[in-house]
Structure 1
Amino acid sequence: MNLLSVSHLHVNFHMKEQELAALIDVSFTLNRGERIAIVGESGAGKSVLGFSIVNLIGKPGYIKSGSIKLENKEITKMNLRQLQEVRGKRIAMIFQDPMMTLNPVLTIGDQLVETIRSHTKISYKDARNIAIEKLHHVQIASPEKRFDQYPHELSGGMRQRVIIASVLLLNPDIIIADEPTTALDVTIQAEILQLLLAICRDNGVALVLISHDLGVVSKVAERTLVMYAGHVVEEGPTLEIINDPQHPYTQGLLNALPQMTLPGQRLNQIRGSMPSLAERPSGCAFHPRCPYATQKCRQEQPRFIYSGVSSVACFLVEDMLNEFADKDKEAS
C-alpha cells in the first residue's frame, strides 16, 4: 500500500463568479521513505498541491474533485478534528520563510514545547528535553542557549533549522518542504538540503520537496514531477529527467540553470511567461511558449504516455515514439 496516493485531483478558485482551475487531474503516489520533488515556475500549482495534501486550501480555493489518501484514509473527507491528527503528526510542512512560521514574541523553546504539549500529555520538563534533543539533531550548536532565544536573534539558516526541528517533534511520516532554501545563500542552502536528506534517510521519512530549481532537486529527490499551469507534464526518476528530459518545458527549465551557460554569457530562458489561471490557453497549456508547437498542440490536451522509464504529456514525444514503432514494424 502507498503511504500517500493522490488521484485525479482538481482544485479550483471561485473568483468573481468565475471558476478558475489551479490543479487539473493531478495524480501521483508516495511510498514510505521515498523522496519526490514537485518542480515548475511560479504559478505552476506546486504550492497549491502541497497545501491540498493536508487540506489547507483556504477560500476562495477548494478541492473540487479527486482523492488524497494517507494509507487508506481519505483526507478530503476528514473533519477538523481528524485533520488536526494528521497535520504535524503524520504530515508536516516546512515553509520557505521561517519568520512567517515562527512567532516573534515567543522564544524558540516556548514554541517547540507548545507544539509537543498540544499533541501529547507530557510535562514541560520532558517536552523541553525533547525540544533540545531535536535542536541538537538538526545540528544547532548550543541548543540549550538557543532554546531561550527569540527568532530575531538567529540567522536565516538557523531559523530554518529550528523549523526542521519543529516538524520532527512529532515524528511525522511525510515532510512537505515548500521552497525551504529560497531565502538562504548558496552555502546555507546546501547545508539545509543535506540536513533534510540525512533526516529522511535516517528516520525513514518520506519527503515532498517543492522547488523551481532542478539543480536543487537533483541533490535530494529520487523521483520528480514537472508541473506547468496546473498540470503534471512529466514524471519519472530524477536522474532520468535531468539527463534525458522529454517535455520541451522540462528541457527549458534545465537549459535555464546557471551551470548550463559559460561564464559571462547570458542565461538561457524560456520565452514568455506562465499563464494566469484566467488566461490558460486551449490545448497544451505550454504551446504559446513551445518552439515545437503544432496546430494539434493548440487544440488538444496531450495524454500521458510512457517514454522509457518516464511518462510525459507531449504530442511531439508521442509522434516520435509512433514513428520509431512504425520503423520497427517495417524492419521486422
Structure 2
Amino acid sequence: MNLLSVSHLCVNFHIKKQELVALIDISFTLNRGERIAIVGESGAGKSILGFSIVNLIGKPGYIKSGSIKLENKELSTMNLRQLQEVRGKRIAMIFQDPMMTLNPVITIGDQLVETIRSHTNISYKDARSIAIEKLHHVQIASPEKRFDQYPHELSGGMRQRVIIASVLLLNPDIIIADEPTTALDVTIQAEILQLLLAICRDNGVALILISHDLGVVSKVAERTLVMYAGHIVEEGPTLEIINDPQHPYTQGLLNALPQMTLPGQRLNQIQGSMPSLAERPSGCAFHPRCPYATQKCRQEQPRFIYSGVSSVACFLVEDMLNECAEHDQEAM
C-alpha cells in the first residue's frame, strides 16, 4: 500500500464570481521512506499542491475534486479535529521563511515544548528533554543555550534547523519541505539539504521537496514531478529527468541553471512568463513559450505517455515515439 496517494486532484479559487483553476488532474503516489521533488517556476502550483495535501487551502481556494489518501484515510474530507491528528504527527511541513513560522516573542524552547504538549500528555520537563534532543539531532551547537533564546538571536541557517527540529518532534511519516533553502546562502543551503537527506534516510521518513531548482533537487530526490501552470508535465526518476529531459519546459529549466553557461555569458532563460490563473491558454499551457509548438498544441491538451522510464505530456514526444514505432514496424 502506498503511504500517500493523490488521485485526479483539482483545486480552484473562487474570486469575484470567477472560477480560477490552480491545480488540474494531479495524480502521484509516495511510498514510505521515498524522497520526491515537485519542481517548477513560481506560479506553477507547487506550494498549492503542498498545502492541499494537508488541507491547508483557505478561502477563496478549495479542493474541487479528487482524492488525497494517507494510507486508507481520505484527507480532503476530514474535519478540523481529524486533521489535527494528521498535521504534525503524520505529515509535517517546513515552510520557506522560518521567521514566518517561528513566533518572535516566544523562546525557541517554549515553541518546541508547546508543539509536543499540544499533541501529547507529557510533562514540561519531559517535553523539554525531547526538544533539546531534537535540537542536538539537527546539529545545533549548545542546544540547552539555544532552547532559551528567541528567533532573532539565531542566524537564518540556525532558524531553519530549528524548524526541522520542530517537525521531527512527533516523528512524522512524511515531511513536506516548501523551498526550505530559499533565503540561505549556498554553503548553508548545502548543509540544510544534507541534514534533510540524512534525517529521512536514518528515520525512514518520506520527503516531498518543493523547489524551483533542479540542481537542488538532484542532490536529494529519487523521483521528480515537473509542474507547469497547475499541470504535471513530466514525471520520472530524478537522474533520468536531469540527464535526458523529455518535455521542452524541463529542458528549459535545466538550460537555465547557472552551470549550463560559461563564465561571462548571459544565463539562458525560458522566453515569456508563467500564465496567471485568469489567463490560462488553451491546449498545452506551455505552448506560448515553447519553440516547438504546433497548431495541435494550441488547441488540445496532451495526454501522459511513457517515454522510457519517464512519463511526459507533450505532443512532440508523442509524435517522435510514434515515428520510431512505425520505423521499427517497417524494418520488421
Superposition TM-score tier, normalisation by shorter sequence: over 0.9
In structure 1, distance between residues paired with 2:275 and 2:194: 34
**Residue deviations 1:10-49, cap 9 Å, x none?**
0000010000000000000000000000000000000000
How far apart are 1:323 and its partner, in Å?
Answer: 0.1
User: 2:45 maps to what in 1?
Assistant: 45
In structure 1, distance between residues paired with 2:155 and 2:318: 49
Tell me, which stretches of 5 or more residues in structure 2 are unaligned? none
How far apart are 1:77 and its partner, in Å?
Answer: 1.2
Say how many residue pairs are matched. Answer: 332
**Residue deviations 1:117-163, cap 9 Å, x none?**
00000010000000000000000000000000000000000000000
User: 2:280 maps to what in 1?
Assistant: 280
How far apart are 1:208 and its partner, in Å?
Answer: 0.2
SS in 1 for 2:176: strand
User: 2:293 maps to what in 1?
Assistant: 293
**Residue deviations 1:97-128, cap 9 Å, x none?**
00000000000000000000000000100000
In structure 2, distance between residues paired with 1:141 and 1:179: 24
**Residue deviations 1:175-233, cap 9 Å, x none?**
00000000000000000000000000000000000000000000000000000000000
Q: TM-score, normalised by structure 2?
A: 1.00
User: 1:108 maps to what in 2?
Assistant: 108
How far apart are 1:288 and its partner, in Å?
Answer: 0.2
In structure 1, distance between residues paired with 2:299 and 2:76: 33
User: 1:215 maps to what in 2?
Assistant: 215
How far apart are 1:62 and its partner, in Å?
Answer: 0.1
How far apart are 1:329 and its partner, in Å?
Answer: 0.3
**Residue deviations 1:65-94, cap 9 Å, x none?**
000000000001111100000000000000
SS in 1 for 2:76: helix
Q: TM-score, normalised by structure 1?
A: 1.00
SS in 2 for 1:5: strand
How far apart are 1:240 and its partner, in Å?
Answer: 0.1
Quote the sequence identity (%).
94
SS in 1 for 2:298: helix
In structure 2, distance between residues paired with 1:130 and 1:18: 48
In structure 1, distance between residues paired with 2:185 and 2:58: 31
User: 2:23 maps to what in 1?
Assistant: 23
SS in 2 for 1:28: strand
SS in 2 for 1:306: strand
How far apart are 1:54 and its partner, in Å?
Answer: 0.2
In structure 2, distance between residues paired with 1:280 and 1:241: 26
